[in-house]
Amino acid sequence: MRLLPVRWFVGVALATAAFGVAASNMVAETQWRREVVSLDASNTAYDGRFTFVRLQYGMALGRFGSRGLPPWAHDYPRAERNFMKILDEITSLTPFLGPTGGNILRLGDPELYKYPLAYMSEPGFWTMTEEEMLTLRHYIEKGGFLIFDDFRGRHWYNFEKQINLLLPEASLVELDVSHPIFHSFFEIESLDFVQFYQRGGRPSFFGVYEDNEPANRLLLIANYNNDIGEYWEYSDTGFTPIELSNEAYKLGVNYIIYSMTH
């Protein structure tokens, strides 16, 4: 991987890349307000490029957001589309840069095994069938890495329930800033992350280790009381300060580099 050795230079590079996302979309806010989101776009066949994968799941509760999208599609496709532009600018990875930002796969889709990382939004509403559970479990066992994002407060209980079904022997542990995932590309010095929505409690990061041994591989990370995808989505609109979007991008880049090197 191409590493940027001087911290201030990395920060400038990220800020410049984030600005580039905004500059390349001078009418982004207007487009965002009238963009019609389709969940029926065709997936891109695997071709060796890094492709962002968003997981589609069944729901514990029948609830849709203000834009009429199910919770698993929150921030789609703008979040991953913007994030992949950043990844392309500051790493040596060659990500898929199409209009959807990546692929949508159901939990039980065997295509999942082709991709090193998968992202789930709003796991407070996540449910899965027996077949989906087994596919996702095998995906993790074979080296896949999961990111859980955008859940807060009481949504923890459903997330914890599903993790216990998925990995019955697993223990969810809170991660501190010393964990290697926070230093795999960017040097993240603090986890005092500013929430997009000021509710739900202190942002925190949880993980599960292989065989519950901290010396082993981290299998997943959960951004609890947090929503980095929201910062990705709005980063080119001026709706959020660029400094906060940058912090969310740093976390996302680190997650990907960690998953590709562990």
- 79-109 pLDDT, tens digit per residue, is 999 999 999 999 999 999 999 999 999 999 9
pLDDT at 14 over 80: no
Expressed in angstroms, the distance from the first to the final Cα of the chain is: 13
Which amino acid belongs to residue 68?
Answer: G
Q: What local confidence, expressed as pLDDT, does residue 117 receive?
A: 98
pLDDT at 52 over 50: yes
pLDDT digits (tens, 9 = 90+) for 164-176: 999 999 999 999 9
Calculate mean pLDDT across residues 11-28. Answer: 51
Burial class (CB in 10 A: 0-12, 13-18, 19+), 148: buried
Alpha-carbon distance of 80 to 246, in angstroms, equals 14
Rounded (10°) CA dihedral 21, 220, 187, 201: 80
Q: What local confidence, expressed as pLDDT, does residue 1 receive?
A: 40
Region 7-261: CATH code: 3.40.50.12140
Q: What local confidence, expressed as pLDDT, does residue 241 receive?
A: 85
pTM of the model: 0.88
Mean pLDDT of the chain: 87
Question: Could you state, in order of their start, the residue ranges of all structural domains in the chain?
Answer: 7-261
